[in-house]
């Protein structure tokens, strides 16, 4: 199957948009349930940053596609296999530790991803990356500090955050998987080479885990499929909740 540049760009932007969208939706589940008021607001702020990024990216994906779909149509009216987010971001919150482990592993990826896109030949994508990078820089600080506090905290918090990192680890390999979409985008100077991003991610994660007195997990089996639209069992439930309004009241606006 040969893709045109336009098709590859649509897919590329969609993937990034879906990462932010689904993680934002997941994180927003904490709204009103945070462990303390301050953290409740912090997580909701971050969720809103992510939804904002998704808005910009999916609006752009709609433009690239050129079929008249706006960001709301793309966000709320696709079927499960049309979402191209990483499996990592759809994993359940479980508890605060698991939520922070998931967030931390993704935030560092997100940071280097947007940093790489600053030099994209696609000026629209570079502009979105520039705005998003400021937000993500704070996300990295926020989740890293929690990893350090929990790792270097009590015996129980240490044990539980180590387990959470271990559990989330098998979803990190997917971040660096590349296919035809990436190849075309790299050749066009639009996308970034994820194989070059991986060592930066690895080193950054390692440094924070060391400060947190946590062990870096071994690389083993990695779950894949999100980029092709093959999701974990959790995805359907997220979409049911997220799409409810548009499905129940088609074309409603507020």
Partner 1 sequence: MSNAEWPLWEVFIRSKQGLDHKHVGSLRAADAEMAIDNARDVYTRRSEGVSIWVVESENVFASSPEDADSFFEPSNSKVYRHPTFYKVPDGIAHM
Q: Which of 41, 94, 118, 121 binds partner 1 (CB under 8 A)?
A: 41
What's the distance, CA 140 to chain centroid? Answer: 12
- Selected from 5, 33, 134, 141, the binder of partner 1 by CB under 8 A is 141
User: Any contact of residue 154 with partner 1 (CB under 8 A)?
Assistant: yes
Taking a C-beta distance cutoff of 8 angstroms, is the pair 120, 190 a contact?
yes
**155 sits near partner 1 (criterion: CB under 8 A):** no
Least Å distance between CB 156 and partner 1?
Answer: 7
Tell me if 152 contacts partner 1 by CB under 8 A. Answer: no
One DSSP character per residue, 189-218 reads TSS--HHHHHHHHHHHHHHHHHHTT-PPPP
> Under the criterion CB under 8 A, does residue 15 sit at the interface with partner 1?
no
Q: Which stretch binds partner 1 (CB under 8 A): 39-47, 81-89, 177-185, 238-246?
A: 39-47
Q: What are phi and psi of 53, to 5 degrees?
A: -65, -45
- Contact status: 216 vs partner 1 (CB under 8 A): no
Near partner 1 by CB under 8 A: residue from 7, 145, 167, 193: 145
**Cα 186 from Cα 201, distance rounded (Å):** 19
- Contact predicate 166/159, CB 8 Å: no
Q: Is 42 in the site for partner 1 (CB under 8 A)?
A: yes
> Is 109 within 8 Å of 19 (Cβ atoms)?
no
Residue pair 160/150 in contact by the 8 Å Cβ criterion: yes
- Which of 5, 149, 206, 215 binds partner 1 (CB under 8 A)? It is 149
Applying CB under 8 A, does 45 fall inside the site for partner 1?
A: yes
**Contact status: 118 vs partner 1 (CB under 8 A):** no
Give the residue carrying structure tokens 């706006």: 70
Judge contact between 69 and 13, C-beta under 8 A: no
How many residues at the interface with partner 1, by CB under 8 A? Answer: 14
Told to check if 51 binds partner 1 by CB under 8 A, we report no
Interface with partner 1 (CB under 8 A) = 36-39, 41-42, 45, 138, 141-142, 145, 149, 154, 156
């Amino acid at each position: 199957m040969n893709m045109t540049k336009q098709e590859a760009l649509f897919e590329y932007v969609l993937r990034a948009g879906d990462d932010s969208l689904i993680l934002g939706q997941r994180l927003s589940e904490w709204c009103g349930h945070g462990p303390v008021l301050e953290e409740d607001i912090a997580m909701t702020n971050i969720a809103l940053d992510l939804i904002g990024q998704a808005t910009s990216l999916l609006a752009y994906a709609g433009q690239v596609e050129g079929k008249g779909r706006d960001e709301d149509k793309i966000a709320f009216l696709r079927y499960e296999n049309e979402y191209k987010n990483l499996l990592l971001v759809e994993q359940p919150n479980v508890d605060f530790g698991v939520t922070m482990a998931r967030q931390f592993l993704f935030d560092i990826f997100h940071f280097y991803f947007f940093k790489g896109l600053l030099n994209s030949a696609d000026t629209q994508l570079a502009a979105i990356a520039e705005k998003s990078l400021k937000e993500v820089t704070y996300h990295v600080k926020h989740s890293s500090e929690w990893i350090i506090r929990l790792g270097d905290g009590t015996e129980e918090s240490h044990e539980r955050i180590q387990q959470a990192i271990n559990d989330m680890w098998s979803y990190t390999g997917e971040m660096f998987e590349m296919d035809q979409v990436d190849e075309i985008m790299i050749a066009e100077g639009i996308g970034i080479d994820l194989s070059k991003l991986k060592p930066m991610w690895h080193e950054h994660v390692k440094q924070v885990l060391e400060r947190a007195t946590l062990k870096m997990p071994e690389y083993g089996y990695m779950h894949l499929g999100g980029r092709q639209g093959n999701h974990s069992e959790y995805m359907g439930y997220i979409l049911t909740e997220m799409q409810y309004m548009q499905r129940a009241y088609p074309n409603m606006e507020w």
